[in-house]
Structure 1
Amino acid sequence: MMQRPKNRAKISCIAIDDEPFALEIIADDIRKIPFLELIGVFSNALDATIFLNETEVDLIFLDIQMPTLTGIQFLRNLAVPPMVIFTTAYEQYALEGYDLSVIDYLLKPVPFERFLRAANKAFELHLLKMKDALKELPKERPFFFVHAEYKQIKIFFDEVIYIEGLKDYVKIFVTGSHKPILTRLNLKTIESKLPAQQFCRVHQSYIVALDKISAFQKTKLLVDKLEIPIGKRFLEVFQEKYQQK
């Protein structure tokens, strides 16, 4: 059994046709196109069905008139069909192919130029699917580590509410915990770990997550119901950052 290619910029495809000569021509045309990767050829739809149960395929070049199981019957039986290009000697199935949302409908004998146009359609759709799949991937939540309680603790930036400096220690207050994380660092060092667009030093002793602020005045701000002082020398930078959010 041929394995699925690792290069996802290419389209993995199979060809199904009960006529050996027609199958050979389709396979040869596929091999001429750099972005197609032929991973299987089948003379009947039943063998192809077994293959698809074990292997993911992007595109099928599918004959319609075949014994035992026609191409249309085969396609209707697929729970999640890949892209399909019909290759047939019969025009009368074109409307049915449209109803089945096939990529293209090629009439035999198929000139290579026409075959290439159909392959290009599939490639454009494949690239769109890949782009959409990337958009749906969960974004990695950025984080940092601090040493506390004799271990390295992972803290996600979006969970930090505010940080309070205590000489050589800082208290890191995070969502979902009433107890702050106490670590031996000064406020300047912890500030260097934080993304500047998300956090702001508002006082000699405080750094605040900008998206956790509910209100502010010139001398103080509110994080939920907690008041945090704003130092005079930090006010201008804070206002500029906060108003850009």
Structure 2
Amino acid sequence: MEEIKMKCIIVDDEPMLRQHIAEMTEQIDFLDLVETFPSALAATSRLQQGDIDLIFLDINMPYLNGIDFLDSLENPPLCIFITAYSEYALEGFRLQAVDYLLKPIIFQRFYQASTKAYQLFVQRNKPLQESSPNDNMLFVRQGDAFVKISWTDILYAESMQNYTKLHFKERTITIHQTMLALEEALPGNHFFRIHKSYLVNVNHIDIITGGRVYIQEQELPISRTKREELLQNVVFKKLLSR
């Protein structure tokens, strides 16, 4: 089966960086670079044609920055931000960007971010009949019984040594399984271990700020070692679930 390619464009006001990114796209088989642009305004008419799948978008540009530009698009393509400042990751989360690349951009990170985008692109374009309602079901142990639940409804799991408490929107249940056993049973592209005591469903995250995650107004701590990984990967996982 022939590999489907993603049509992409590059929007950056630095000519040498545009060239550098263009050369990297040539090394990746699933990327089809259509055009490069020196500004967001210059790219507007091309995006209006509606056939672009991915945009590599610089944030700091004159007249109209990348964040405001992406926010203004009615049906934006997948986006990978380019920036010199890591604090823009939170803004990228709000706009559901796939990833963000810090300057200077190395090929390893570029390939990693592009692969995330491609996996999401393929997932979005799968025929609807490939998914099954049973894919969302999971059996968990309560006492001597096994109860069927939908893991999509889990907001987060809380470790209680040999037990785990599952928090849902309108109820909480305690299951006779360790956090590790539960984590192995759940799909890794939807759940993220933010702390030794908390495993969260990334589809239900409302806010990430400082060392905290908010889900349904519940404040949960992020361990220091997990925060950067969460910022870099949670957007992709959140998008993939849709």
**TM-score, normalised on structure 1?**
0.51
- Whether 1:110 and 2:123 are equivalent positions in the alignment is no
Aligned partner of residue 119 in structure 1, secondary structure: helix
Superposition TM-score, scaled by structure 2 size: 0.51
Where relative contact order (Cα < 8 A, 6+ residues apart) is larger, the structure is: 2
Which amino acid is 1:67 matched to?
Answer: P
Instruction: State the 1:55 CA deviation.
Output: 4.3
Secondary structure of the 2:119 match is helix
Q: Does 1:68 align with 2:68?
A: no
Match for residue 92 of structure 1 among 83, 87, 93: 87
Question: What is the CA deviation profile of residues 167-217 of structure 1, one whole-angstrom value per residue up to 9, with x for unaligned ones?
Answer: xxxxxxxxxxxxxxxxxxxxxxxxxxxxxxxxxxxxxxxxxxxxxxxxxxx
Deviation string 1:25-79 (CA, Å, 9 cap, x unpaired) is: 1111111100000001000001111111124110000000000100001000100
Which residues of 2 match residues 127-138 of structure 1 at below 5 A? 127-132=122-127
SS in 2 for 1:18: coil
Residues of 2 paired with 1:126 and 1:132: CA distance? 12
Separation of aligned partners in 2, 1:133 and 1:12: 22
Q: Tell me the distance in 2 between the aligned counterparts of 1:13 and 1:92.
A: 25
> Equivalent residues in 2 for 1:234-245 (5 A)?
none
Q: In structure 2, how many angstroms separate the alpha carbons of the residues matched to 1:116 and 1:68?
A: 30
**Secondary structure in 2 matching 1:86:** strand
Partner Cα separation in structure 2 for residue 15 and residue 59 of structure 1: 9
- Quote the Cα distance in structure 2 between the aligned partners of 1:67 and 1:27: 21
Number of residue pairs aligned between Structure 1 and Structure 2? 130
- Please point out which of 80, 85, 89 is paired with 2:75: 80
Match of 1:101 in 2: 96
Partner of 1:124: 119
Asked which structure has the greater CA Rg, the reply is 1
- 1:122-201 matches, within 5 Å, as 122-132=117-127
**Alpha carbons of structure 1 residues 37 and 99: separation in structure 2 relative to 1, 3 Å:** same
Please name the residue that 2:176 is paired with: none
Matched, 1:35 2:24: no
- Go from structure 1 to structure 2 and tell me whether the alpha carbon gap of 1:88 and 1:129 turns closer, same or farther (over 3 Å shift): same
Do residues 47 (structure 1) and 42 (structure 2) align? yes
Counterpart position of 1:11: 6
Unaligned ranges ≥5, structure 1: 1-6, 137-245
Taking the aligned partners of 2:111 and 2:71, their CA distance within structure 1 comes to 26
Q: Indicate if the aligned counterparts of 2:3 and 2:30 stay in contact, CA closer than 8 A.
A: no
Alignment correspondent of 1:170: none
Aligned partners of 1:49 and 1:134: how far apart in 2? 35
Deviation (angstroms), 1:119 = 0.7
For each residue in 1:115-163, what CA deviation from the matched residue of structure 2 results, as whole angstroms up to 9, or x when unmatched? 0000110111111111046769xxxxxxxxxxxxxxxxxxxxxxxxxxx
